[in-house]
Amino acid sequence: MPAIIGAPHSVALDITNKCNLRCLHCFNNSGENDVVANELSDNEVLELVDSICQMHPFSFCFCGGETLLRKDLVIESLRRLSASGVKCNLVSNGLLANSNTLHELERAGLNGIQFSLDGLRDSHEHMRGLSGLYDRVLDAIDITLNETSLHLSIAFCPTSFNVDDFKPVCTMLRDKLKSSGRTDRIDLRVQPLMLLGRARRNRTIRPSNNQYRRLVNTINDLRYDPDYRGYFMLEWGDPIDHLVRFPQLQMQFDQVAIHANGDIVASPYIPLIIGNVRKHSLQEYYDAGMATVWDKPVVTALANRMHSIDEMEEISSLIADINMDGDLYIDLIDDDLGDLSVLSQF
């Protein structure tokens, strides 16, 4: 049996759940969930960052919410993380990503940035509810490619109204990368729409099975098309995959996700909290056996209920939406993750 790891390989922190948009598909109800009133303070975030630096993870991701709403805090966190040799990435909707901000982030130590681009103009702005946003995102992409060395990632969420935009988006991004003269590839990430959070209330945006098949065929074609394959790392993500593999293979918990209020979750996509950094440090949780949390009966019982996107929605319906009151809280240190009676409520 391999040695039990004592620290995470990667950490993702929701630096805030406040948001300047109300996107139709947002899985964690950013901007209007129950976490926004109880977020970690600047000092608490910096204390957490300092403790993470001492654990020496390979990578750290600033997630949200809209991360750049706490830009100054992000920059100070970046300085500390990069000084400790941690590779840092950030996700953003692009609305606040102007030239000055992107240069500040790079100087502070940011390595890569991900913007969302959910189709061409009409599709993207319909998804995100703001006229003019499309041009702002394209400007942010141009600045990233032409004025910085930040690695660029693009997230594309398929919907019933944007599937046919995928190849034109790829063509546009390819042409931007070519004109920049850069030799690296753009990471282009696609995964099925999860019926969680606001997507549950806007379920008509979900693509049909035929639309999904068409999209997957397009992705596969582009992977082998010589006009595209040198410009992208195309990723078709499966949000269920880790919930199936990790318990079955008894994989160690090396990718930590922390909500904006300090909650540590077994998975970003199930409403199960296994600790909070306000109660115990991340290192204390690892010392208490967090690496083997996928072996715990409560965690595996929930994960085993989720073998499809539809079952993700079912679990959230029975317990709570992500980041809403009602999340199942079982502290790894203070409670018993082996007591399945806590699941009797559903």
- H-helix segments, 58-165: 71-83, 99-108, 121-128, 133-147
Q: Quick one: average pLDDT of 62-76?
A: 97
Tell me how many degrees the CA angle 128-134-136 measures, rounded to the nearest 5: 110
The total number of residues shown for the chain amounts to 346
3-state DSSP helix/strand/coil % of the chain, to nearest 5: 45, 15, 40
10-54 pLDDT, tens digit each: 999 999 999 999 999 998 999 998 889 999 999 999 999 999 999
Question: How far apart are alpha carbons 211 and 76 in whole angstroms?
Answer: 43
216, containing H or E segment: helix 209-224
H/E element, 151: strand 151-156
Query: Could you tell me what percent of the chain has a pLDDT over 70?
Result: 93
**pLDDT tops 80 at residue 3:** no
Residue 304 has pLDDT above 70, yes or no: yes
> Model confidence at 319, in pLDDT bands (50, 70, 90)?
low
Per-residue pLDDT reduced to its tens digit, 81-101 = 999 999 999 999 999 999 999
- Is residue 269 very low, low, confident or very high in pLDDT (cuts 50, 70, 90)? confident
d(CA 292, CA 185): 35
| 23 neighbors 272 (Cβ within 8 angstroms) | no
Instruction: Identify the DSSP state of 69.
Output: G
Work out how many domains the chain is built from and give that number: 1
Q: What is the pLDDT of residue 1?
A: 47
Q: Please tell me the distance from the alpha carbon of residue 116 to that of residue 109, in angstroms, as a whole number.
A: 22
* Mean pLDDT of all residues belonging to the chain: 91
pLDDT at 206 over 50: yes
Residue 343 buriedness (CB in 10 A; 0-12 / 13-18 / 19+) = middle
pLDDT of residue 293: 86
What's the confidence (pLDDT) of residue 337? 83
Q: What is the 3-state secondary structure (H, E, C) of 317-330?
A: HHCCCCCCCCCEEC
Nearest Cα residue to 53 out of 22, 76, 72: 76
Quick count: other Cβ atoms within 10 Å of Cβ 125?
A: 18
Q: Cis omega before residue 65 (within 30°)?
A: yes
Q: Give pLDDT, residue 157.
A: 96
Is the pLDDT at 234 greater than 80, yes or no?
A: yes
d(CA 207, CA 127): 13
Whether the CA torsion 238, 248, 274, 314 is positive or negative: it is positive
Look at residue 65 in the predicted model and tell me its pLDDT: 94
Report the percentage of the chain scoring pLDDT > 90.
70
- The band of 268, judged by pLDDT with boundaries at 50, 70 and 90, is confident
Region of poorest pLDDT, from 58-62, 236-240, 260-264, 339-343: 339-343
More confident residue, 104 or 314: 104
Tell me the β-bridge partners of 10: 59, 255
CATH number at residue 335: 3.20.20.70
What is the per-residue pLDDT for 270?
Answer: 79
Is residue 101 within 8 Å of residue 71, measured between CB atoms? yes
- State both tokens at 167: 């190849």
Amino acid residing at 12: A
Q: What is the mean pLDDT of residues 296-308?
A: 80
Q: Report whether pLDDT(151) > 60.
A: yes
* Domain span at 177: 1-346
Most confident region among 90-104, 233-247, 260-274 by mean pLDDT: 90-104
Cβ neighbours for 333, distance < 8 A, ≥ 6 positions apart? 275, 279, 280, 284, 285, 288
User: Residue for token digits 């019982």?
Assistant: 301
Would you say 264 and 254 are in contact if contact means Cβ atoms under 8 Å apart?
Answer: no
Query: Is the confidence at residue 345, as pLDDT, over 60?
Result: no
Q: Rounded CA gap, 152 and 149, in Å?
A: 9
The pLDDT of residue 324 is: 64
Predicted pLDDT of residue 320? 63
Place of tokens 């410009």: 231
Lowest mean pLDDT among 186-200, 202-216, 249-263, 275-289: 249-263
Instruction: Please tell me the predicted confidence (pLDDT) of residue 329.
Output: 87
pLDDT of residue 225: 95
